[in-house]
């Protein structure tokens, strides 16, 4: 479950710092099959930065996107909610998180979480409109 947002949420976003963290994560990627290394970084509501890199597999379909590692790290290091996110490729260029990963991020996003994208800063709602999320399950109970 997500932690409550009662604590003060960090809103001052240093995109350069976040992008650098994503590049550092990308350098740890294991991508021998696609040779497409990805690093992801997100600012958490309590001010920490969590990161992840893609980890591929000889069984291609079970490879993990960088965002999978990121949400795992988020949870393992104390939870919280994602305030801002960026992911980069091998050249350090900002890329779009894939559709599945937008869903992964949405689970832990503050409302209006910001993403640096190929078309500028966007909100999670803009890149994943009408998202299915935890509230849909709660509504059904």
Identified catalytic residue from 6, 7, 56, 67 = 67
Q: How far is the CB of 7 from ligand THU (least distance, A)?
A: 29
- Cβ closest to ligand THU, residue 68 vs residue 110: 68
Whether residue 116 lies in the annotated active site: no
108 CB-contact burial (10 Å; exposed 0-12 / middle 13-18 / buried 19+): buried
Q: How far is the CB of 106 from ligand THU (least distance, A)?
A: 13
DSSP 57-93: -SSGGG-B-HHHHHHHHHHHTT---EEEEEEE-TTS-
- Cβ closest to ligand THU, residue 66 vs residue 113: 66
Which positions lie near ligand THU, rule CB under 6 A?
31, 34, 36, 38, 54, 56, 63, 65-67, 87, 97-98, 101
Contact 56, 31 (CB under 8 A): yes
């Amino acid at each position: 479950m997500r932690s409550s947002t009662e604590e003060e949420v960090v809103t001052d976003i240093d995109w350069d710092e976040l992008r650098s963290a994503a590049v550092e994560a990308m350098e740890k990627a294991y991508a021998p099959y696609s040779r497409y290394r990805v690093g992801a970084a997100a600012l958490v509501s309590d001010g920490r930065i969590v990161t992840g890199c893609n980890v591929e597999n000889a069984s291609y379909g079970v490879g993990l996107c960088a965002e999978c590692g990121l949400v795992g790290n988020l949870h393992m290091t104390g939870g919280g909610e994602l305030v801002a996110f960026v992911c980069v490729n091998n050249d350090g260029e900002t890329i779009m998180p894939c559709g599945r990963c937008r869903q992964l991020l949405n689970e832990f996003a503050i409302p209006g979480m910001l993403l640096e994208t190929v078309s500028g800063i966007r909100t999670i709602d803009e890149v994943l409109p009408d998202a299915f999320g935890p509230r849909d399950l709660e509504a059904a109970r």
